[in-house]
């Protein structure tokens, strides 16, 4: 890999190219040219950039470069060689002795001892059997047995294991298995990765809940039933949650114990490969929800105390423990931990052909306080003070640089609530290198409004400000609600809007009540205004597109291990007698309209009107004119709006269509002619009819 400072022209490609490469300082302060308010923090920018360069230099000298360094999964763990021998390699520096045990040698600790080198790495090569077969059968159970300095022997699952299974009737702990299917049983990818889309329309999904049935859904079922559904709804990105193996289902995948293993509760690895490949065949890319912010504290089947110490992969003492999550925190400054995590990213890209990552818990990684008890005010001193974990910052800089160098079409998304500047700028400018950040303030705003403010008191200006308040030059993925808002203890937007009436009044055979009418109208409008104004990408959590009637709660002791809420009732949209179909139809219409006109990858919208009394918002983006009337009762005829580009306009999307559960009050055949009269800072104007709680999108007739 080229020296990063010399490779600035390449790295700018995924950051938007806001600064000419010739003008970039070679010390990590390029971001100051974009945001002069960062000038007082140049020393911090220089320091983290220099630390990244130091890592690159060190890895070049000791490992032959980042490319080779990040291929740890090719050598660590278990591998079958061409001659059918099996090699096993494991880092366990505190252990005195080690041996591989399993079904293949009757768990005999003396049968296959391993050799330890000066770096604390144990190795072993097992020759094939007399008849030329691998000595360890495919899918058989294995463990590594380690002798500690106290002379005690402990058994662990290999840290780089690629497949583990759980038999809850025996124990909640996982069993490690040697995954080595015959060539004819291995899944071979048939389809190339699609090109990175200009507009990201993200469908956040969890395989296990993707069925109305009271059980865990499989990869196979998701491939067959969910992929066509997601495609038809107009999404082009799938963000898969809970894939990295986690012993506790109710952790939602966020307490990872086996970082290289795809969760076996959904099926074998080959089925996940088929899922990703099939998505590619449909033109959709797949992001993995990667959890490098912390790890499960499990000892028997996780990384915790792997070699008998609490500080092998993690920080020792209090710094190595997350108080709220009850989990372990990685030591990002350690050479072997860096190898493990970078190789983990590389593995998921190469082995399963994922197209990128949504990095979970980035706020926790960025700060030594992990965001606990901290309300970020937006003051820049919060982002560069003593509370920043620069080792974690440098890890993310290296991870993003590695990924973008090796996979030019990769997409990385950061889940950060703090608003860290330069999070989504390339390393060459001194940024952390992510492509997108999640707009986490937007769902908070909508829930606060619905819980605390009457419709007639909504502050239109504040809504617009929150939707557009993002850092210039850093891309954002907007959303009204994600899995966070669906979890038990919270409510989905539709539950906030309609509550109990979702269970009684969503049938088309019953009269449309005021509560359901309001709920459906605002559900559509909230989504459209967020889609149009909120960012350079849009995200929806599965089921919320049609107003899923219930929250999400996984089987656990507190609910008698029930699957009732650990499923998505996708069948509700298929019933012609239920109103959920209308919201589902609108979601499809909204996404397909964006696919045609591309407002997500257009420059930020120009808002020409935020009328508090009328509750009207008008803005233009990608040549489209968006008009929203949030008023609960007032409809407006011949309402004058400003339009920049003169011409004849027609409606291309409106929330009041019958197929969207509306009243068909708008005639989409109407032609709107502009007048050369400047209005609301636009060169022209036209007049529209906008019923109460309705939104419409207009385009030039020539583009339809």
The answer to whether the Cα torsion of 5, 10, 14, 18 is positive or negative is positive
- Token match 């207009």: residue? 698
What is the H or E stretch that residue 447 is in? helix 441-452
Contact 581, 687 (CB under 8 A): no
Which of these, 168, 139, 175, lies nearest to 258 by C-alpha position? 175
Among 274, 305, 415, 545, the one annotated catalytic: 415
Which of these, 580, 504, 513, lies nearest to 548 by C-alpha position? 580
Structure token digits, residue 212: 């109305």
Residue 622: phi and psi, rounded to 5, are: 55, 35
CA distance 582 to 659: 6
Parallel, antiparallel or unpaired: strands 86-91 and 327-328: unpaired
Q: By three-state DSSP, how is residue 170 classified?
A: coil
CA distance 366 to 38: 17
Which of these, 335, 321, 165, lies nearest to 258 by C-alpha position? 165
Q: By three-state DSSP, how is residue 699 classified?
A: strand
CA distance 614 to 312: 61
CA distance 276 to 352: 7
587 is catalytic: no
Return the number of other C-beta atoms located less than 10 Å from residue 271's C-beta: 18
3-state secondary structure 563-575: CCCCCCCHHHHHC
Burial 131-156 (b: 16+ CB within 10 A, else e): eeebbbeeeebbbbbbbbeeeeebeb
Which of these, 235, 243, 153, 246, lies nearest to 200 by C-alpha position? 235
CA distance 303 to 314: 9
CA distance 541 to 443: 12
To 5 degrees, how large is the angle CA 233–CA 234–CA 239?
A: 90
Residues in the chain: 704
CA distance 565 to 222: 18
CA dihedral of 59, 63, 67, 73, whole degrees rounded to 10 = -120
CA distance 587 to 405: 35
User: H helices within 64-119, ranges in order?
Assistant: 66-69
Furthest CA-CA distance within the chain: 90
Which of these, 486, 491, 467, lies nearest to 477 by C-alpha position? 467
360 is catalytic: yes
Among 90, 175, 204, 360, the one annotated catalytic: 360
Contacts of residue 514, Cβ cutoff 8 Å, sequence gap at least 6: none
Question: Catalytic site residues?
Answer: 360, 415
């Amino acid at each position: 890999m080229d020296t990063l400072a010399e490779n600035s022209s390449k790295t700018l490609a995924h950051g938007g190219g806001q600064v000419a490469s010739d003008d970039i300082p070679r010390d990590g302060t390029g971001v100051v040219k974009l945001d002069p308010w960062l000038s007082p923090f140049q020393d911090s920018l220089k320091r983290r950039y220099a630390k990244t360069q130091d890592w690159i230099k060190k890895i070049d000298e000791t490992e032959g470069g980042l490319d080779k360094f990040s291929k740890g999964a090719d050598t660590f763990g278990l591998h079958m060689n061409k001659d059918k021998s099996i090699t096993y390699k494991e880092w366990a520096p505190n252990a005195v002795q080690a041996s591989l045990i399993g079904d293949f040698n009757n768990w005999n600790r003396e049968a296959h001892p391993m050799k330890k080198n000066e770096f604390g790495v144990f190795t072993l090569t097992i020759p094939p059997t007399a008849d030329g077969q691998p000595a360890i059968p495919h899918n058989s159970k294995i463990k590594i047995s380690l002798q500690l300095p106290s002379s005690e022997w402990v058994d662990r699952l290999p840290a780089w294991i690629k497949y583990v299974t759980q038999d809850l009737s025996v124990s909640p702990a996982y069993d490690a298995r040697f995954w080595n299917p015959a060539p004819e049983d291995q899944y071979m990818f048939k389809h190339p990765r699609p090109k990175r889309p200009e507009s990201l329309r993200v469908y956040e999904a969890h395989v296990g809940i993707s069925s109305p049935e009271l059980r865990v859904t499989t990869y196979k079922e998701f491939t067959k039933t969910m992929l066509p559904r997601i495609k038809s709804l107009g999404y082009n990105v799938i963000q898969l949650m809970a894939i990295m193996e986690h012993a506790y289902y109710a952790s939602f995948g966020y307490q990872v114990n086996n970082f290289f293993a795809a969760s076996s509760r959904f099926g074998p690895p080959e089925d996940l490969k088929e899922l990703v490949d099939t998505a590619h065949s449909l033109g959709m890319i797949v992001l993995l929800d990667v959890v490098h912010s912390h790890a499960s504290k499990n000892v028997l089947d996780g990384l915790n105390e792997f070699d008998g110490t609490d500080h092998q992969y993690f920080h020792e003492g209090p710094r190595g423990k997350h108080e709220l999550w009850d989990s372990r925190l990685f030591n990002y400054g350690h050479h072997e931990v860096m190898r493990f995590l970078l190789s983990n990213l590389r593995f998921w890209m190469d082995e399963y052909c994922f197209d990128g990552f949504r990095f979970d818990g980035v706020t926790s990684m960025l700060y030594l306080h992990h965001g606990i008890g901290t309300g970020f005010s937006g003051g820049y001193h919060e982002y560069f003070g003593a509370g920043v974990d620069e080792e974690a910052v440098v890890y993310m800089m290296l991870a993003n640089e590695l990924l973008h160098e090796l996979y030019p079409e990769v997409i990385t998304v950061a889940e950060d609530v703090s608003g860290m500047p330069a999070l989504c700028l390339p390393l060459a400018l001194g940024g952390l290198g992510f492509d997108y950040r999640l707009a986490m303030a937007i769902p908070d705003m909508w829930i606060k409004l619905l819980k605390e403010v009457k419709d007639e008191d909504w502050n239109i200006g504040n809504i617009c400000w929150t939707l557009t308040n993002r850092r210039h030059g850093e891309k954002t993925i907007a959303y009204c609600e994600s899995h966070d808002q669906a979890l038990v203890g919270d409510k989905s937007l539709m539950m906030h809007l309609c509550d109990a009436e979702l269970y009684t009044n969503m049938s088309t055979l019953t009269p449309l009540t005021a509560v359901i009418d309001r709920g459906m109208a605002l559900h559509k409008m909230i989504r459209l205004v967020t889609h149009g104004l909120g960012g350079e990408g849009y995200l929806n959590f599965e089921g919320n597109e049609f107003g899923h009637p219930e929250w999400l709660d996984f089987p656990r002791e507190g609910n008698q291990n029930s699957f009732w809420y650990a499923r998505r009732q996708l069948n509700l949209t298929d019933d012609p007698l239920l109103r959920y179909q209308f919201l589902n139809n609108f979601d499809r219409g909204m996404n397909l309209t964006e696919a045609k006109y591309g407002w997500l990858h257009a420059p930020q919208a120009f808002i020409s009107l935020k009328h508090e009394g009328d509750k009207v918002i008008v803005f233009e983006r990608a040549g489209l004119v968006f008009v929203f009337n949030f008023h609960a009762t007032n409809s407006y005829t011949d309402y004058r709006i400003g339009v920049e580009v003169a011409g004849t306009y027609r409606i291309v999307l409106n929330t009041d269509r019958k197929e969207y559960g509306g009243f068909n009050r708008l005639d989409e055949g109407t032609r709107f002619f502009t007048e050369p009269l400047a209005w609301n800072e636009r060169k022209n104007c036209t007049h529209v009819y906008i019923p109460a709680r309705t939104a419409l999108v207009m385009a030039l007739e020539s583009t339809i």
